[in-house]
Amino acid sequence: MFTKLDDILFPNKVEVIDYNGKYIYPIFKNASSSLLEYAKDNSYKVIFNEQIRKLNTIEVFIREPKARYLSGVATYLFNNSLDITAITPGVFLDRHYLPQLHWLINLMRYMASDSKIHFHSLEMIKEFTPLQILPEKVNITDTSIADHQELEMYMRLDNLILNQLTGQSWTSNQVMTHLMAQDPLAYATVIGKTQKLAEVTYVLPTP
């Protein structure tokens, strides 16, 4: 069964925005505030859950993992009036600093097997929205937390996505198979922990 934390990290409500025929899956800390606000301003349609299965291609923006982690932690701390001592590297309590692969896994739950994710670097965001919304966050002076050993495997997989998948379209199966082939240790470590966290097999596609 899902726990309260599972429901936070892998919510059952997954949203994709119809940007005039381009379907964007917004990931926190990857310009999601700008994408969502622009979509709201222009009355763009939001597609949920099972409707996602009808889409052929979904656009996703990927950010450099270390910068995103630090920004996500800073936002989480600000939103909850906490300081850096509340963060345990390798333990994820909020989606703002949850690895990007985990966001993709949650999307994959609702994709058809032949649907594809088209990966963009974050620099491509200007092609979709002119907004640049910067959410409030605390200032993290010691950035070494992002280099912690407990984060290494997560960072390795997110970096593979950024460096090897951007600019291309991949099915869920192709993504997971590629990550497993390129870094078997990181894949086994991260996916093993994710399975234990989620406690249900359908969260993960079969490579």
Tell me the per-residue pLDDT of 63-122, one tens digit each, with 9 for 90 and over.
999 999 999 999 999 999 999 999 999 999 999 999 999 999 999 999 999 999 999 999
Q: And the tokens for 159? A: 């970096």
Q: And the tokens for 147? A: 């280099």
Q: How many CA atoms lie within 13 A of 127 on its CB side?
A: 10
pLDDT given for residue 72 in this prediction: 96
What CA–CA distance (Å, rounded) separates 63 from 70? 12
What CA–CA distance (Å, rounded) separates 85 from 164? 34
Q: How confident is residue 186, by pLDDT bands cut at 50, 70 and 90? A: very high
Q: How confident is residue 193, by pLDDT bands cut at 50, 70 and 90? A: confident
Burial 43-73 (b: 16+ CB within 10 A, else e): ebeebeeeebeebeebbbbbbebbebbbbbb
Q: How confident is residue 192, by pLDDT bands cut at 50, 70 and 90? A: confident
**Residue 149 in this model has a pLDDT that exceeds 90:** yes
Q: How confident is residue 7, by pLDDT bands cut at 50, 70 and 90? A: confident
Statement: the pTM of the whole predicted model exceeds 0.85: yes
**Cβ neighbours, 10 Å, residue 156:** 18
Q: How confident is residue 5, by pLDDT bands cut at 50, 70 and 90? A: confident
187 and 155 Cβ atoms separated by less than 8 Å: no
Query: 117: helix, coil or strand?
Result: strand
